[in-house]
Chain A
């Protein structure tokens, strides 16, 4: 049993944290995060240089990581800085390309940006109920339908798209230039796109892709959970600091027990969140990966909302302002629940296991 990071991961963590603190401070982040393209190409290149993307794939696929803990180290750093760059898409795509044994050098170097299109408006969390359809056409396939909430889609060069083929979820590659891409910034910063497909040219990657899709989702969940842990740590530290500075009734408000206990309850939930994220990361390549990912996403959903709402409440009005960073952390913490399955969705998955 060892809860320390390996030396390599510790170095990656340190260098990413340092880079983001220096080069991606919250003022810069807010400039990038809320306006298209929600992306800073120079910083993206620097991050790739530091290994943030190479960490997403194993050595035999051209990277130097690829395990749950590699993903969590990268995303915890992104979460601390609230970094809006489209690393989630790269993470899920790297997972898919690794499983398929496909070349991903351009992804890992940062030269080509990938986004993964799974969600649909009426079926945002899993392939069940998916309408987007593929039909053979010529040498390849043609896709029709609308994919929604494609994270990083606003700047993606290549989309990996889930669509039904002969009644089975399959995976396709679509070039951005071949589809209609409608990008937008999100409430919590960072960009996404709607992908409108109308007999759009596509290359088949996997005919029976349910397992590969699930694996990519599991990896994405580990990423989001780690991102939330990083963001919760910063939010909590900022809140505790504020409790020590802010005076009302002649004393720092942190002297009031009602606030002390609530600050402790935040800490407790954050530590539990860190634990379940470690568990999900550890199990990512095991047989129960989906189960532990669901457990983690459920707990993170509850904890992140608590931390966000309590941080705002305990700060008071200042945290309602655009200028104060906590407001942006709070938005991210609340909104990431709706990515790759929310609290209720994942609780249902665990309930399914119970009844089995």
Chain B
């Protein structure tokens, strides 16, 4: 039993830390700190910086351009990125499609697409959910029909995150309507410039534009855009979701949020006293801090297990359930600490001297509402409980 990093891991952490200090653009980290929306240019610039260092495709094997990190190194990298307020890596090409092509793609697909993901030529988005297929993803209806050398796609995808920046989308489509629902699905790559595609923004609860819906009307794509075997797309979808679960505990983000809550509660006053001296409020902070401290170790334990066993087990669902709940609690505390000052719509008080705190605290109502999403996406917390019930408890 040893909770400390090895000498090599500590050196690696220092290397990451100083690299971030020297190379993360100030303007970008300020934007992350303020919690506002990042521009496409900021995200692309950050990807390019990491790509130059070879640290962009963190979960790809070395021969495909990954850094060859252990799960612990990857964790250290993510933690340091959080600490430095670096933007999250846009995951759709790098952490989702990349591993899928590496595992299921043809040599031609790998040679063509992987370099384009790395150098930023392609920005991928995800065509999974549909209006009638959320938690029950396998009930999806978007149809792909083979017509000579082409697939003809009709249907609708939704919750397509950052689709407004993308030029490509990977889709789950039904290719055999007569098979059992999981068995008639295929994984198909689509160029968003293809005629018949329309992307519409979905305005979210806090007013932000982060997700979209995508309509497909007689969209024709080349037959070779199929990944893996026809009607075997569900296997790929499940494989991709296991990758989506890594880093899902969001420990780094919660640590940021905890510090913010503490800073706010030390600054604002209630009844002439600092809010942090109010026992009701302090008790909630203390409890969240304890839960987070346990979460840090739970996260490391699962990392250790993944490293030992070679793959994350079903227990990672615990990280999703507990990690999101802790983060949401901290977002609620930040919003409450500000009281009415959290209310203004983002943007209206953006002028320097009107801002409340140094860290863009005035966005905390928006952040609170936006973060309700984390217990819903990537398999809702209820779906995670179903997974655990079946896989871990065998109920």
Contacts and interface: CB of A to CB of B under 8 A. Distances in A.
Q: Note whether A and B form a binding pair.
A: yes
Contact of B286 (A2, A264, A276, A347): A347
B262 interface: yes
B293 A279 contact: yes
A1 B300 contact: yes
A146 B116 CA distance: 77
Given A1-B6, A260-B389, A267-B388, A350 B290 contact: yes
Interface residues of B, number: 46
Contacts of B386: 257, 260-261
B11 interface: no
Given A2-B2, A268-B322, A354-B276, A260 B297 contact: no
Contacts, number: 128
Contacts of A257: 386, 389
A298 B283 CA distance: 11
Contacts of B385: 260-261, 264-265
Contacts of B318: 267-268, 271
Interface stretch (A3-11, A53-61, A115-123, A180-188): A3-11
A303 to B, nearest CB: 9
Interface string B1-37: 1111110010000000000000000000000000000
Contacts of A9: 1
A151 interface: no
Interface string B278-306: 01001101110111011111101101110
B3 A4 contact: no
Nearest to A254: B395
A2 B9 CA distance: 13
Contact of B294 (A4, A279, A351): A279
A275 B393 contact: no
B108 to A, nearest CB: 40
Given A264-B388, A271-B298, A69 B1 contact: yes
A1 B9 contact: yes
A255 interface: yes
A275 B294 contact: yes
B286 A351 contact: yes
Contacts of B38: none
A48 interface: no
Contacts of A295: 289-290, 293-294
A206 interface: no
A71 B318 CA distance: 27
Contacts of A265: 385
B1 A255 contact: no
Interface in A251-303: 254-255, 257, 259-261, 263-265, 267-268, 271-276, 278-279, 281-282, 292, 295, 298-299
A274 B4 CA distance: 17
A5 B301 CA distance: 13
A248 to B, nearest CB: 15
Contact of A261 (B72, B303, B389): B389
Listed residue (B265, B285, B318) with the most chain A CB atoms within 10 angstroms of its CB: B318
B321 interface: yes
B94 to A, nearest CB: 25
A281 B2 CA distance: 11
Contact of B389 (A5, A264, A278, A299): A264
Listed residue (B285, B293, B305, B386) with the most chain A CB atoms within 10 angstroms of its CB: B293
Contact of B3 (A6, A271, A278, A298): A278
A282 B393 contact: no
A268 B321 contact: yes
Contacts of B392: 264, 267
Contact of A276 (B9, B285, B297, B304): B297
Contact of A354 (B3, B285, B296, B395): B285
B136 interface: no
Nearest to B298: A275
Interface in A220-266: 240, 243-244, 254-255, 257, 259-261, 263-265
A180 to B, nearest CB: 40
A272 B286 contact: no
Contacts of A263: 389, 393, 395
B336 to A, nearest CB: 15
A251 to B, nearest CB: 11
A5 B1 contact: yes
Contacts of B322: 268, 272
Interface of B: 1-6, 9, 72, 262, 265, 274, 276-277, 279, 282-283, 285-287, 289-291, 293-298, 300-301, 303-305, 315, 318, 321-322, 382, 385-386, 388-389, 392-395
11 contacts: A260-B393, A261-B385, A261-B389, A264-B389, A268-B388, A275-B301, A276-B293, A295-B290, A347-B286, A354-B262, A355-B282
Interface of A: 1-6, 9, 69, 240, 243-244, 254-255, 257, 259-261, 263-265, 267-268, 271-276, 278-279, 281-282, 292, 295, 298-299, 347, 350-351, 353-355
Q: 6 closest pairs, A vs B, by CB?
A: A275-B297, A260-B389, A276-B294, A350-B286, A254-B395, A272-B294
